[in-house]
Amino acid sequence: MIDPFQPFEWALAHGRTLTLGPRGLLMAIINVTPDSFSDGGVYNDTEAAVSQGLRCLEDGAAILDIGGESTRPGAAAVTAAQEQDRVLPVIAALASQTDAIISVDTYRAETARLAIAAGAHIVNDVHGLQREPDLADVAATTGAGLCIMHTGRDREKRADVVDDQYHFLERSLEIAAAAGVQRDRIVLDPGFGFAKDTDENVALMARFDELFGFGMPLLAGTSRKRFIGAITGREAQERDAGTAATTALLRMAGAAVFRVHNVAINRDALLVADAMLASKRHVTGTPGKDNQP
């Protein structure tokens, strides 16, 4: 178990680090795709994607997550070359124009290697190293930060939502360890929305503290997900308020990083949640005392 509010130095590529724990950090979603579920086609060229990245930094993003293949159910597959043509120019431009921490959203080892060479610091794998395990070798040799996500797609899930997290992610961590990835380079993502229905997503939020048994910081990616629409009745582009609610709730539960489309509204949600956590620290003398598992 860890105290999720204590400082954790996340070691990244190119000698960079991020301090996780004492305050929530935002990872901005930059989809360089024509078919992502809520913003497909909006930033589907290098200039538009770079401009959006710069806006997200101004709004308070700590990380820019650049993706070139939609992960929505039923999305058209892209080749490695197509993915790389989309993301590498954006990463290179942002790396040359800013000192931003940049993440590449890919499960492909070769895309990850090229992205890090272009200036990326983090690899965000929605398949948890279990589609292309060689990606772990890339992370180990480059020193990249690694976000390992849980997914329930294309396999038989266990009945209990938290049990399934441990079943899947423990295998991912075995792959990372075998490749030599140090634990201070890993953040885990429970994969809200990935083959999980509304009840499972809500249960995962309610039981979030049980995931600190991994002993690692956690990233929450609820932004505009279908379960928020099921609860609020809103279409994808109208789910930012619902997303901000989950951001505040999960921050109070100990999440460290929040992957979002709308940085500004989630920045405000985090400021409120972190102010409450600071007040609790002042009263109890222990960061997040009442939130520890």
Residue 243 belongs to a domain with what CATH number? 3.20.20.20
Asked if 75 and 118 count as a contact pair (C-beta separation under 8 A), the reply is no
**Looking at residue 290, what is its pLDDT?**
42
**Would you state the pLDDT for residue 88?**
97
Residue ranges in the chain whose pLDDT is less than 70: 35-43, 72-75, 285-293
Tell me the C-alpha distance between 25 and 256, whole Å: 6
- 39: which residues sit within 8 A by CB, 6+ positions away? 29, 31, 237, 261
Residue 102 counted as domain residue? yes
- Tell me if 290 is assigned to some domain: no
2 belongs to a structural domain: no
How many domains are contained in the chain? Answer: 1
| Residue 153 in domain | yes
Residue 7: inside a domain: no
Domain that holds residue 155: 23-285
* 9 assigned to some structural domain: no
* pLDDT value of position 291: 40
Which residues are catalytic, by number?
225, 259
**Predicted local distance difference test score (pLDDT) of residue 289:** 46
Which pTM does this prediction carry?
Answer: 0.93
* Residues 131/107, Cβ–Cβ less than 8 Å: yes
Question: 99 — alpha (psi -120 to 50), left (phi > 0) or beta?
Answer: alpha
Q: What is the pLDDT of residue 293?
A: 33
pLDDT at 43: 67
Nearest-angstrom CA–CA distance, 191 and 113: 23
Nearest C-alpha neighbor of 139 from the set 95, 100, 173, 92: 173
Let me know if residue 255 belongs to a domain. Answer: yes
Q: Has residue 81 been placed in a domain?
A: yes
